[in-house]
Structure 1
């Protein structure tokens, strides 16, 4: 089973939804650009494309810089979905290649723009959760990600609606 099929069968560990008064393609352009997404996200702080890719296409990889207070860590993300105005998703792995999470943004048309649903699926093995909690300072990742998603979606709404 593909990761996308697996994700669609299992409920996400954290999710949020917001209606935005902007076209789905406009909002997609903000979340599918890792540089712009860093301006909106709570812990994600920046990126560097790796492997010769420099754009959000399926298979492209980027090294993510993350921070929470004084704590900093990096991840490697691989884009799995890049369907403009419909879905953007990526799988995140640790510095050692261990699975961390899947992040996905789904876009649905709405009368005045679109509805955006941001979702996260936990992928870390149990023992790895303890190790990463020490690095990130987050002991309840689900609760933290629900709050992070709400903050990210609010910023996304402001940015997309301001660009109209």
Structure 2
């Protein structure tokens, strides 16, 4: 109930981290999350900062909001957040930035919270969801790479 994708980007870790950690830019890169906004007085990334994201499931719908909280926030090294519903964490997303040669290896990962509900969901739809998540993580990282290597379109 977890997976990850790594893409090498010819850019410094700090530059890539700035794009990822500014959740207001998520809709520019993600095929499922169309927008995100800071909540509760948060104005930027910090441990415990809250935001909400509007998700278009599988890129088609339905459209709904998720509640999120920053769980890892080390500039240039890592950024992570949990996704909750009804005050229960469902999923954790994480980005890791590792300098390598002419740039940075960026790893995006997710880990579903272990529960009876997620085990049932994963047993029924896990294979298809894993493929969708891998495709989405790859697309997200490729879109970020295009911006940091080639500049905004």
TM-based fold match above 0.5 = yes
Unaligned runs of 5+ in 2: none
8 Å contact from structure 2 (residues 25, 36) kept in 1: no
- State the secondary structure of the residue aligned to 1:118: strand
Aligned counterpart in structure 1 of residue 84 of structure 2, from 66, 83, 93: 93
CA distance in 1, matches of 2:118, 2:97: 32
| Counterpart position of 1:141 | 129
Deviation of 1:150 after TM superposition, in Å, equals 0.8
Which residue in 2 is equivalent to 1:111? 101
For 1:19, the equivalent position in structure 2 comes to 8
Runs of 4+ in 1 over 4 A off after TM superposition: 128-131
Pairwise mapping of residues 51-130 of structure 1 onto structure 2 (< 5 A)?
51-67=40-56, 68-94=59-85, 96-123=86-113, 125-127=115-117
Q: What TM-score, normalized to structure 1? A: 0.81
Going from structure 1 to structure 2, the CA distance change for 1:124 and 1:100 (only over 3 Å counts) comes to: farther
Do the aligned residues in 2 keep the contact of 1:24 with 1:114 (CA within 8 Å)? yes
| Distance (whole Å) between structure 2 residues aligned to residue 74 and residue 98 of structure 1 | 15
Matched length? 147
- CA deviations 1:69-115 (Å, max 9, x no partner) are 13111111100111111000111112x12222100000011111111
Q: Residue in 2 aligned with 1:50?
A: 39
Structure 1 unmatched runs, 5+: 1-11, 132-136
Cα distance in 2 for partners of 1:66, 1:26 equals 25
TM-score (norm 2): 0.86
- Measure how far apart 1:31 and its partner are: 0.5
Q: Which residue of 1 aligns with 2:28?
A: 39
Measure how far apart 1:140 and its partner are.
3.1
Aligned-pair RMSD on alpha carbons?
A: 2.2
CA contact 2:24–2:38 (8 Å) conserved in 1: no
